[in-house]
A and B are shown apart, each in its own frame.
Chain A
């Protein structure tokens, strides 16, 4: 957004990132301050295209490219009139043709092509399809209302759950306090020895704890559902896919020669006696004389036997 400046005061946009750009029906932008200044009297003309404008026509720019904003506005207006939906048409081809028409109109109005004719076409359409437009409008409002109702319901149920949880906690706290108080009272009044009373108290407290745990368990599954009203949930178990387990097989390499001893067995067989021992400088890097010996032996045995056939 920062690369676009206000065409009038130019620098202000960069210096003040919080400043918003406003767009109007002709598609040109102005920053808030400039709008105030130019349209203090309420109406004026755009400085780039000279179309007469009103201050109320200015809306905060949502998109980087002002032409996009312009198109969005135009589209909103057009869709208010052209609000047929798929069930209004007999075939998919007709629906697509209708949509193509709408796009043409929006395109023309946005790019100022053939504005007059387009407007005439729109008016004609409006007149012809007045009743359908009304019906669809009503339907739209009804759908929107339904959606809003659903949202409200969900919110309410969330609130309720929260309250219930709070209450539950409070009740548990109270229960605990009561049992403590009861213990103190018993210690005062009863004649049984203190240890037995303490033991009883402990047992009761444990029971209470388990009760609370169980309640929590019961509460959890019901609140995790969150299913929307009207949807069904598939209760079939997820199919288990069982494949053949991987078995490790060590790599077999054909060396065309006698088998060479392993690295670990070299010292045992006495090979290392015939190799130069590793000096301390060499071992620092991880070198052992076994490595050189192993390589020499491997090389000696690799490919020793002639190939079969």
Chain B
């Protein structure tokens, strides 16, 4: 359950500023490493700043969501939620410049399928990359398997993620049973679902517990429909006397709604510029440290080629 989970102990933070700090630290760490490596091509303006990283992160997160939604067979919502959470947690402690988000996002999706017991073989998984040739897909599969252990380690081996979907179901059941004032809770479901999907694209999962997110979703959709659910909180959840808790809950809900409102998809041309910078950085680092242990493949394209041409598969190949 959530109350004694690793998510609550290690991956729930006080507020968004703390998260921003962690990301800045990760950025700084990589900058230092890059500049210390004293390579001729690396200069400071070449490296990504914090807001550029953020834009790229949001862009790739969106791509991850689209990839999961287009996945065949249909991926359950919890798997999608887990994948996005992994992606988010990974880039809390690591910089986009160090590990390319393209690979990490596929690795997150793959790992989340495994953890959530949505059985997909690796071949089937990369078969969803429609723009790739089968050889290209194989290469992607290899890359995913390489990065998998890294991802798990960066998640500190805390692989269980509690998503807000089941709490939402639970709250709907509770509403139907104990709150007859509300005639048709089912009508709230659709808009609450949308709220949850949007919340997954924000830092809400790292600050609030999943049941709080679900409750906010339902209250939000109720207020959108013009229904007042205050009495649910006071009566059914037993908060009539406990004014402090009640006010705190309203406060967190307000914060969550602000988070959602703040979210915006980055502009495409900006993203393109940042992407180019990113590619350049990765090319610089990759050409010197060729981590791939190739050379045991039978077909023609073996290790001797430079890394740039390996990354034939670009973002467009994902969808």
Q: Which positions in A face B, CB cutoff 8 Å? A: 253-259, 269-271, 273-275, 293, 295-306
Contact = CB atoms under 8 A, between A and B. Distances in A.
Contact of A299 (B211, B237, B239): B211
* Most B Cβ at <10 Å: residue of A255, A274, A296, A304: A304
* Most A Cβ at <10 Å: residue of B4, B169, B214: B169
A295 B1 CA distance: 9
A271 B2 contact: no
Nearest to B246: A305
Interface in B208-266: 209-212, 214-215, 236-239, 245, 248-249, 251-252
A-B pairs, top 9 by smallest CB distance, nearest first, are A300-B170, A303-B209, A296-B170, A300-B167, A306-B248, A274-B176, A302-B2, A304-B211, A303-B2
A300 B171 contact: yes
Given A274-B172, A299-B170, A305-B245, 5 more contacts: A258-B239, A296-B167, A300-B174, A302-B1, A306-B245
Contacts of A274: 172-173, 176-177
Given A271-B177, A295-B166, A305 B249 contact: yes
* Most A Cβ at <10 Å: residue of B1, B4, B168, B238: B1
B236 to A, nearest CB: 8
Majority-rule SS of B interface residues: helix
A258 B210 contact: no
A296 B175 CA distance: 12
Contacts, number: 88
A111 to B, nearest CB: 57
Contacts of A293: 173
Given A254-B3, A255-B3, A296-B169, A303 B212 contact: yes
27 contacts: A253-B3, A253-B4, A255-B3, A256-B209, A257-B211, A258-B237, A269-B177, A269-B178, A274-B177, A293-B173, A297-B170, A297-B174, A299-B162, A299-B167, A299-B170, A299-B211, A300-B170, A300-B174, A302-B167, A302-B209, A302-B211, A303-B211, A304-B209, A304-B211, A304-B212, A304-B249, A306-B245
A259 B236 CA distance: 10
B210 A303 contact: yes
B8 interface: yes
A299 B1 CA distance: 7
Contacts of B168: 300
A305 B239 CA distance: 10
Contacts of A300: 166-171, 173-174, 211, 214
